[in-house]
Structure 1
Amino acid sequence: MLDDAPIVFPSPTIPAAGRAEVFVRYLDYFREGLLAKTSALPEAELRSSRLPSGWTPLELVKHLRFVELRWIEWGFQGRDVGDPWGDRRDDRWHVGPSETLADLAATLRAQGEHTTAVITGSDLAAVGQPGPRWDGADPANLERVLFHLLQEYARHLGHLDIVAEIAGGPTGE
C-alpha cells in the first residue's frame, strides 16, 4: 500500500468552513480512494484490462492526473502545460512500461496539491482564463470546473470498483 493513513469519507454532517473546503475534502477523498484501490491490486492487474474498453488501473491513475491538469492549469489558469493530452496515445489512455504506480501516485498527489492551492487561493466564482481548453466557448468559473472534476473522479472510481471486484481487490467506500 502506498499510504497507510485511513481514508475518511467527507460526510455532509462534518462542518466545513465553506464550499471550497468541501471541494478539497471530496477531491482528496476520491484521489486517495483511487490510490488505495490501485495499490491493493497485484502488478499484473495494474497493467492489464478486464474490460472490453481495454483501460488498465494504471492508465486510470494517469488519466485522472491529466484530467486535473487539463481543467485546473490548462483551463482555469490558462497555463501552457506542454502536452495536456499526455495520458493518451493512439486515441486511448496510455502508460509506458517504465511508469510505476508509485511514480504515477506521486504525480497525482502533486497535481492534487496544486489543485488544492488553486481552490483555497481563488474565489469559486472566478472565471477561468481564455484559451484552447475551452474550444472557443467562454471559460467556466472555478466552481463549475470543480463540479466537473468531482463527477470525473466519482464516475471513474465506480469503474475501478468493478475492476477491483473482478480482480478480488477492495471495493466500495
Structure 2
Amino acid sequence: MTDNRPPAIAAGEKDTLIAFHRYLREAIIRKVEDLPDTAARTPGVPSGTSPLGLIKHLTGAELVWLEWAFLGRDPFPELGMDVTETDTVESCIAAYRAAAARADEIWDSLDDLDAVSAREDRTLRWILVHTVEELARHAGHIDILREQIDGQVGR
C-alpha cells in the first residue's frame, strides 16, 4: 500500500475542504479495497466495528447531512454498521462510491457556506467541516483495524 499524502492545494475555503474530503474518501477505500471479504466483515474491536461496517456507515453519513438535513429531502439515509454475509468489499465500495458521487454533485451545486440547513440549525460550512471531521475520524478507525488484520500501515 502506497502512502498518499494529503492534497497540496492553494485554494479558497470550500475548494480546500472538498479536496481534503475527497482525499479522505479515497484513503478509506484504499484501506479496504484489497482485503478479503471475510477479514473486512470481521469486527476488530469489542464494539463490533469492522472495515465494511465503517464503509456502510459512511455511505449514508454525507447524504444525511446534505440531502436530509441541508436540503430537507426524505428519506433519512441508512447509517448502520451492520454487515451481512452477502456484503462484499466490492459491493460496499461500489455503494460508497455511488453515494460519494451523489454527494459531490450536491457539493458542486452549493456555493454559499453561510446558508442554513432546512432541518438543522447548521450552516453549510458547519456541515462541510463536520463531514471532513467524520471521515478523518473513521479513516483513523480503519487504519487501526487494517493494521490489526494484516499489519498494513500508511495513508
Structure 1 gap segments, 5+ residues each? none
Distance 2:54 2:153 in 1: 16
Out of 22, 25, 32, the position equivalent to 1:31 is 25
Q: Give the structure 2 partner of residue 125 of structure 1.
A: 114
Contact 1:50 1:163 in 2 (8 A): yes
Please list the CA deviations of residues 34-77 of structure 1 after superposition, one character each: whole Å capped at 9, or x if unmatched. Answer: 11101132222101012111111101001011111211111111
* Number of aligned residue pairs: 154
Q: Give the structure 2 partner of residue 170 of structure 1.
A: 152
Out of 101, 110, 118, the position equivalent to 2:98 is 110
Q: Give the structure 2 partner of residue 10 of structure 1.
A: 7
Contact 1:7 1:32 in 2 (8 A): no
Contact 2:36 2:89 in 1 (8 A): no
Out of 69, 75, 79, the position equivalent to 1:87 is 79
Q: CA deviation at 1:169?
A: 4.5
Q: Give the structure 1 partner of residue 61 of structure 2.
A: 67
Tell me: higher relative CO, structure 1 or 2? Use CA pairs within 8 A at least 6 residues apart.
2
Check if 1:76 corresponds to 2:58: no
Distance 1:25 1:171 in 2: 22
Check if 1:48 corresponds to 2:42: yes
Letter in structure 1 aligned against 2:44: R
Out of 78, 84, 99, the position equivalent to 2:87 is 99
Distance 2:145 2:103 in 1: 27
- In structure 2, relative to structure 1, the CA distance for the partners of 1:46 and 1:125 (3 Å cut) is same
TM-score under structure 2 length normalisation? 0.88
Q: 93-102 or 19-28: which moved more?
A: 93-102
TM-score under structure 1 length normalisation? 0.80
Q: Give the structure 1 partner of residue 131 of structure 2.
A: 149
User: What do you get for the CA RMSD once the two structures are aligned?
Assistant: 2.1
Q: Give the structure 2 partner of residue 161 of structure 1.
A: 143
Contact 1:40 1:170 in 2 (8 A): no
Distance 2:84 2:58 in 1: 16
Contact 1:41 1:169 in 2 (8 A): no
Q: Kindly indicate which of the two structures has a greater share of residues assigned to helix.
A: 2
**Poorly superposed stretches of 4+, deviation over 6 Å:** none
Structure 2 gap segments, 5+ residues each? none
